[in-house]
Amino acid sequence: MKVVHICNLPLADGHPDRGRIVTHPGRWVLNLALAQRAHAGIDARLVVQVPGASRDYECEVEGVPVRYVAAPDRLRSATLFFFDVRRLRRAVLAWEPDVVHAHGTEDAYALAAQACGRPSVLTAQGCFFIINREMPPGRFFSRERIVEWTERRALRRAGDVIAKSGYVRGELARAFPHVRLHEIPNTFDPALLEIPVDRPRRAGHLAFVGTVVERKGVHLIREALGILRRERPEVFSRCVLHIFGDRREAADYEAREIVGLRELLGERLVTHGTVGSRELAEELSTISVLLAPSLEEMFGNQFIEASLLGVAGIVSEGTAMAENARRIRAGVVVGQRDAAGLARAVADALERPRSTDESLEVRKRIVDWMGPEVVALRHLEVYRWRRSESHGGGR
């Protein structure tokens, strides 16, 4: 079975625009494709649109065929992604897939998969009908509202949708009751299991992983550190915060929060920018605590991957990360928008580090739940159902 995934992926080493264009750093669809090729007999391939790229580019990434599709970097949502859909459809159909799998509704991917005329599956991530409800856009005619409109259009036409968590599944079931939902988590890069969990930790070192935007709750980290400075100066004096995911051209929120954190921490704020997944894993394996106080989160790969590496995660209630923390019985869940609770959790985590045995038990629970073979076979079942239905059959 040949499956083409329409998704995000960092630019490959040989891509002519690597280093010039900053793309989404996540590799979870590549992890899925590797798992499908290794464990489910699926010929998995990736189509990745790159706004602003100078030309198309094809290559293999870790043995997975990838087609990078160049696109304009302006007026895409304003045209309701019309030209993106045509461009992606052409790239996908050139591979003559049996199934087209779109990852996300925040761009043209879902609409493009449905336009291919082949059995299609959608993974819901970053759903704007949820994000805009929790953090309403300031302008009526904004990219966020346009994307929510195209997202609703895609979801109304969808048949099989994969939700990464119970939280997302519940939201989708209420908003789109006609959709057939499958709850399947992301898998991870098995190379993470080669990194030992008993490496020496840098005492007092904390990590934030992700884009520095309001939805990720970076202002709560700043407020929590301010509380520690006032109330627990002996803890605060040891804190070093690493930010993985800051951008060279920062928006207002990011610029403001980085300045505020720099005023608090001085040289104890370390900004790494966008780094590769393996480099990130190596860094995290020597850090004590991950801070992820998101206001909204659909899955939270950073929490799972950090937990695999023996890092104690602190996440916020009301998100999929809190659901995942309870599922793997690891990490600490604090209240939503609760900077004081976050400060207390940081102090406790630094004073009571997790043992190696506890970290190994957490790792085993994650592998049992969302290891590559488990996730690959669950996707295979969905694809078989989708193909059978498209040919008029059934289970």
Per-residue model confidence as pLDDT tens digits over 59-93: 999 999 999 999 988 877 777 888 999 999 999 99
Q: How far apart are CA 140 and CA 369, in angstroms?
A: 41
In this structure, are residues 33 and 75 in contact, taking their beta carbons and an 8 Å threshold? no
**Residue 113: which of 393, 392, 383, 380 has the closest Cα?**
383
Q: Residue 270 forms beta bridges with which residues?
A: 242
* pLDDT one-digit tens code per residue, 102-142: 998 888 999 999 999 999 999 998 788 888 888 888 776 78
Helix axis angle for 372-390 and 28-39, nearest 10°, is 80
* pLDDT at residue 352, as a whole number: 92
Helix (H, G, I), strand (E, B) or coil at 300: coil
* pLDDT one-digit tens code per residue, 131-187: 888 888 877 678 788 888 889 999 999 999 999 999 899 999 999 999 999 999 999
Q: Residue 314 forms beta bridges with which residues?
A: 291, 332
Across the beta sheet with 312-316, what order do the strands follow?
Answer: 269-273, 240-244, 202-209, 287-292, 312-316, 332-334
- Which two three-digit tokens encode residue 238? 């040891």
Nearest-10 Cα torsion for 375, 379, 380, 386:
170
**Residue 125: which of 105, 97, 152, 155 has the closest Cα?**
105
Question: 393 falls in which pLDDT band (50, 70, 90)?
Answer: low
Q: Which of 156-160, 240-244, 314-318, 391-395 has the lowest mean pLDDT?
A: 391-395
pLDDT at residue 208 above 50? yes
What does the DSSP 8-state code read for residue 95?
T
Could you count the other beta carbons within 10 Å of the beta carbon of residue 358? 15
| Single-letter residue type at 137 | P
Query: In the chain, which residue ranges form alpha helices assigned H by DSSP?
Result: 28-39, 82-93, 109-115, 128-134, 143-157, 166-175, 218-231, 233-236, 252-265, 277-284, 301-308, 320-328, 339-351, 356-370, 372-390
* pLDDT one-digit tens code per residue, 219-249: 999 999 999 999 999 999 999 999 999 988 8
**Model pTM?**
0.90
* pLDDT at residue 392, as a whole number: 64
Q: How far apart are CA 273 and CA 74, in angstroms?
A: 24
- Which two three-digit tokens encode residue 290? 């991950």
Q: What's the residue count for the chain? A: 395
pLDDT at residue 395 above 60? no
Q: How far apart are CA 180 and CA 392, in angstroms?
A: 17
Cα 384-389-393 angle, rounded to 5 deg: 100
pLDDT at residue 7 above 60? yes
Pairing of strands 57-61, 64-71: antiparallel
* pLDDT at residue 140, as a whole number: 66
Query: In 40-196, which residue ranges form alpha helices assigned H by DSSP?
Result: 82-93, 109-115, 128-134, 143-157, 166-175
What does the DSSP 8-state code read for residue 24?
-
pLDDT over 70 for what percent of the chain?
98
Average pLDDT over residues 372-380: 98
Question: 196 falls in which pLDDT band (50, 70, 90)?
Answer: very high
In sequence order, the 6+-apart residues with CB closer than 8 A to the CB of 55 are: 16, 70
What does the DSSP 8-state code read for residue 383?
H
Domains and CATH numbers, the chain: 2-187+372-390 (3.40.50.2000), 190-369 (3.40.50.2000)
**Mean pLDDT, the chain, as a whole number?**
93
Q: How far apart are CA 218 and CA 255, in angstroms?
A: 11
Q: How far apart are CA 68 and CA 54, in angstroms?
A: 11
Query: In 28-142, which residue ranges form alpha helices assigned H by DSSP?
Result: 28-39, 82-93, 109-115, 128-134
Q: How far apart are CA 293 and CA 341, in angstroms?
A: 10
**Residue 132: which of 114, 112, 153, 152 has the closest Cα?**
152
* pLDDT at residue 394, as a whole number: 46
Q: How far apart are CA 309 and CA 9, in angstroms?
A: 22
